[in-house]
Amino acid sequence: MECSYFGKCGSCTLYTMDYNAQCAHKQEVMRTLFAPLHVKEFDFFASPSEHYRGRSEFRIWKEGDTISYAMGAVDKKGAVCIDVCPKVEMKIYTLMPKLLKQIESSPLLREKLFAIEFLASSEHLLVTLIYHKPLHVEWDNEAKMLEQMFGIFVIGRSRGIKRVLTQDFVEDRFDIASKTYRYHIIEGGFSQPNRLMNQKMISWVLSHLENCEDLLELYCGYGNFTIPMAENFKKVLATEISKTSIASALQNCKLNDTHNITFLRMSAEELTSALKKEREYNRLKGINLDDYTFSHVFVDPPRSGMDEASLAFISQFENIIYISCNPETLKRDLEMLTCNYTIEHFALFDQFPNTEHLESGVILKRI
């Protein structure tokens, strides 16, 4: 990837290496990190080195009536003004300068604009304009012209306000294991930024499923992994604390004609307590947890990893599938899990080229 802001923008830290060197560097770092756990080899999935991000956010920098996109400086002092970013998907990359020029020409759209978020899918492009001011009908009329001019969806946000002009979601389509999956992704909810690598992650998990009965999933989001995995299991129980994500997950079941998943708005800690019969929850009314025979548990926790109680809880299952966005907390958690499990498969997914970040997938089997 080439970028005129290398060395100034703090986003890309491995820009001095070509992409092959970056991949080799990341694999060596992971071999060293996980050597104490006797992990020597990984499946490695490379990404396109540019135009890979389908979700991105940029601050807005103002000088008089001129506005620019801005990123944090490499020295962490101030911001670097940019015109475009070669990391984002091509439809975002192409739109960025045109959109900014049009917003700049409108005092109403420009005034107190704080940030712009982009959410791209195979079907749509949604843009969220974030302000430090109230938004009213007058803003709607101006923003509607952006939708018509660029063929996009536009949302306005400010403190306590969300103005939706047409729709607040995108639909995506993935072809995985000879089947097309459809996803309804709501603005503001979590989604995987690198859509191509996301498909590779799902495909990798599916390729290593065997001896399946029922599945328990913690941190299920909008059903990104849940829905493709459900075809391999009799029943699925999936939990998530975000109302927005649960709403998307239920919609995605309808889109994919999937009927064997039960979604619960519960934290991993609450479900752990319920399954141990330590406490009863109204949210479990009508659900008999004893009806499930869980052969697998799937976890995709936040960067902080899993707490000790949840790790102890998932250690009762025969098979664990662990997706991690933080190698350090993954190592910490595996140090506990490998007391009773063997690592059957380990994969690295380069979600964010030109950075140190790396996504991991581990499949463990109880000894």
Spatial distance between the Cα atoms of 211 and 205, rounded to a whole number of angstroms: 14
DSSP reduced 3-state for 296: strand
196-243 residue pLDDT tens:
999 999 999 999 998 899 999 998 999 999 999 999 999 999 999 888
121-168 residue pLDDT tens:
998 999 999 999 999 999 999 999 999 999 999 999 999 999 999 999
Quote the DSSP letter at residue 122.
S
Quote the DSSP letter at residue 282.
G
pLDDT given for residue 280 in this prediction: 82
pTM metric for this prediction: 0.93
Closest CA to 349 of 47, 24, 107, 61: 47
Closest CA to 218 of 309, 287, 100: 309
DSSP reduced 3-state for 170: strand
- Helices 327-337, 19-34: inter-axial angle, 10-degree rounding: 30
Spatial distance between the Cα atoms of 100 and 28, rounded to a whole number of angstroms: 41
Which residues, listed in sequence order, are joined to residue 365 by a DSSP beta bridge?
319, 342
3-17 residue pLDDT tens:
988 989 999 999 999
Residue 77 has pLDDT above 90, yes or no: no
pLDDT given for residue 235 in this prediction: 97
Closest CA to 127 of 58, 224, 198: 58
pLDDT given for residue 190 in this prediction: 84
**Domains, the chain, ordered by start:** 55-169 (2.40.50.1070), 193-366 (3.40.50.150)
Tell me, yes or no, if 325 is annotated catalytic: yes
Q: Give the Cβ contact number of residue 347 at 10 Å.
A: 20
> CB of 195 within 8 A of CB of 168?
no
Residue 273 has pLDDT above 90, yes or no: no
Among residues 3, 12, 23, 325, the one annotated as catalytic is 325
Q: For the CA atoms of 201, 206, 207, 211, what is the dihedral angle to 10 degrees?
A: 140
285-330 residue pLDDT tens:
888 888 999 999 999 988 989 888 889 889 989 999 999 999 999 9
Mean pLDDT taken over the chain: 94
What Å distances lie between residue 347 and 45, 204, 344, 354, CA to CA?
8, 8, 10, 19
Among residues 89, 240, 270, 359, the one annotated as catalytic is 359
Complete DSSP assignment for 195-220: HHHHHHHHHHHHHT--S--EEEEES-
Higher-pLDDT residue of 71, 284: 71
Residue 235 φ/ψ, nearest 5 degrees: -140, 155
108-133 residue pLDDT tens:
999 999 999 999 999 899 999 999 99
Q: Give the Cβ contact number of residue 292 at 10 Å.
A: 18
pLDDT given for residue 75 in this prediction: 86
Tell me, yes or no, if 3 is annotated catalytic: no
